[in-house]
């Protein structure tokens, strides 16, 4: 076995993580769920969501039978909601096309929605013990440093080279359990030792062969993404109050916050009273402009101007299924984005708020 893999496996026995919630068994469903939740999301953030999700939907069958709304509700706050929608689609696909048995070949796994090459490989490794290479943020960091590879890992050229290194470094002549340990060791080393800033090279099992360490380039690698300043967007949120209820609208998918519930959003500068008359067919009275809510996405910044409005006419005028009237406390149990959760809490549920319901 290569020194690289062997050193990692030896290191993992003493220093790796062995008690994460999804490490209890080889249930493909449990492993698949964990891998999807962990896409672009840190372990400590995922754990409570994962535990709740497994309690609510302990099997792929129970997930497949659930309504999407229930799935999104459990996902609320975790972000990247297309993951939840794809999870739901895939659960039904596995039930229907694979008789509830998760496919075990990496290629087949990779064809399922929401599962790319790295996630498919992780599932193949941890659920089925197959010898496949992963390439996540941890692995990219370790390999760019160990082999001294410069260039932003998002570029195709660099990414292809990293995949090649990942495959070449696999423990080919392994026996039972080695590939799982090796794969977990890569991620644990990336999390605990080969960190983005201030890596603990003196504690690293790969230090004697690490090119970046030899050449004193550890803090130069991996090459950071060239960033553009984020465009600033603004929007008005209409908080329409009718007695104890507010109006929520289900947003279209695909798109930002697809299928999640939000107060109606309009561009700034649009006359609110007129908009409600013409587009919602509701007579309203403007109460107050609530404090601005700033939110940042990967590719733009959104400044939300929440406007509190009182409904004068009957609320029953809106009957489209994409609109609902709901108590703010009930809205928190639905699939709503994080800023909306924050807004509803501080406006309607805080003891300090004059609009507390």
Point out which residues bind DNA (CB under 7 A).
Answer: 17, 20, 22, 34-35, 38-45, 77-82, 86, 112-120, 122, 136-138, 140-141, 155-157, 184, 187-188, 190-191, 196-198, 222, 224-225, 227, 229-230, 254-258, 295-299, 337-339
- Shortest reach from residue 38's CB to DNA, in Å: 3
- Residue from 35, 132, 180, 249 carrying the catalytic annotation: 35
- Nearest residue (CB) to DNA, 49 versus 275: 49
Q: Give the whole-angstrom CA distance, residue 308 versus residue 290.
A: 7
- Nearest residue (CB) to DNA, 26 versus 278: 26
The secondary structure of 166-222 as a DSSP string is HHHTS-SS--TTHHHHHHHHHHHHHHHTS-SSS--GGG-TTGGG-HHHHTT-GGG-S
Closest CA relative to residue 253, chosen from 341, 337, 343, 340 = 337
- Nearest residue (CB) to DNA, 141 versus 178: 141
50 close to 145: Cβ distance less than 8 angstroms? no
- Nearest residue (CB) to DNA, 49 versus 355: 49
- Nearest residue (CB) to DNA, 284 versus 344: 344
Number of neighbours of residue 20 by Cβ within 10 angstroms: 15
- Shortest reach from residue 337's CB to DNA, in Å: 3
Q: Give the whole-angstrom CA distance, residue 20 versus residue 184.
A: 11
Q: Give the whole-angstrom CA distance, residue 33 versus residue 86.
A: 11
Element (H, E) at 266: strand 265-266
Q: Give the whole-angstrom CA distance, residue 88 versus residue 315.
A: 33
- Shortest reach from residue 285's CB to DNA, in Å: 30
Q: Cα 117 to chain center, whole Å? A: 17
Closest CA relative to residue 124, chosen from 35, 210, 192 = 35
- Shortest reach from residue 283's CB to DNA, in Å: 31
Number of neighbours of residue 320 by Cβ within 10 angstroms: 9
Element (H, E) at 262: strand 261-262
| Strand 261-262 versus strand 284-289 pairing type | unpaired
- Nearest residue (CB) to DNA, 7 versus 158: 158
Q: Cα 47 to chain center, whole Å? A: 12
- Nearest residue (CB) to DNA, 266 versus 336: 336
- Shortest reach from residue 329's CB to DNA, in Å: 18
Number of neighbours of residue 150 by Cβ within 10 angstroms: 12
- Shortest reach from residue 273's CB to DNA, in Å: 29
Q: Is 35 a catalytic residue?
A: yes
- Shortest reach from residue 207's CB to DNA, in Å: 19
| Strand 293-296 versus strand 323-326 pairing type | unpaired
What phi-psi label fits residue 261: left (phi over 0), alpha (psi between -120 and 50 degrees) or beta? beta
Residues that are catalytic = 35
């Amino acid at each position: 076995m290569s020194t690289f893999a062997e050193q990692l496996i030896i290191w993992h026995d003493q220093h790796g993580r062995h008690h994460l919630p999804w490490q209890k068994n080889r249930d493909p469903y449990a492993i698949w769920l964990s891998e999807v939740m962990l896409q672009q999301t840190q372990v400590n953030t995922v754990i409570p969501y994962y535990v709740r999700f497994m309690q609510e939907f302990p099997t792929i069958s129970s997930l497949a039978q659930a309504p999407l709304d229930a799935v999104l509700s459990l996902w609320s706050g975790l972000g990247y909601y297309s993951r939840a929608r794809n999870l739901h689609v895939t659960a039904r696909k596995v039930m229907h096309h694979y008789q509830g048995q998760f496919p075990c070949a990496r290629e087949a796994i990779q064809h399922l929605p929401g599962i790319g090459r790295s996630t498919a490989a992780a599932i193949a490794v941890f659920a089925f013990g197959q010898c496949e290479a992963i390439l996540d943020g941890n692995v990219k960091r370790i390999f760019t440093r160990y082999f001294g590879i410069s260039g932003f890992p998002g570029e195709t050229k660099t990414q292809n080279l990293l995949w090649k290194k990942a495959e070449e470094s696999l423990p080919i002549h392994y026996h039972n359990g080695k590939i799982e340990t090796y794969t977990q060791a890569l991620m644990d080393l990336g999390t605990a030792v080969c960190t983005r800033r201030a890596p603990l090279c003196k504690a690293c099992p790969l230090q004697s062969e690490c090119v970046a360490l030899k050449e004193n380039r550890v803090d130069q690698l991996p090459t950071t993404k060239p960033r553009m300043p984020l465009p600033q967007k603004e929007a008005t949120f209409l908080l329409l109050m009718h007695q104890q209820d507010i109006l929520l609208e289900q947003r279209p998918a695909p798109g930002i916050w697809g299928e999640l519930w939000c107060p109606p959003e309009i561009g700034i500068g649009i006359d609110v009273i007129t908009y409600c008359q013409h587009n919602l067919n509701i007579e309203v009275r403007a109460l107050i402009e609530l404090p601005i809510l700033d939110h940042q996405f990967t590719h733009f910044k959104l400044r939300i101007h929440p406007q509190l409005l009182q409904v004068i006419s009957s609320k029953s005028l809106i009957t489209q299924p994409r609109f609902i009237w709901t108590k703010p406390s009930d809205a928190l149990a639905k699939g709503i984005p994080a800023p909306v959760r924050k807004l509803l809490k501080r406006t309607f549920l805080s003891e300090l708020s004059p609009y507390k319901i």
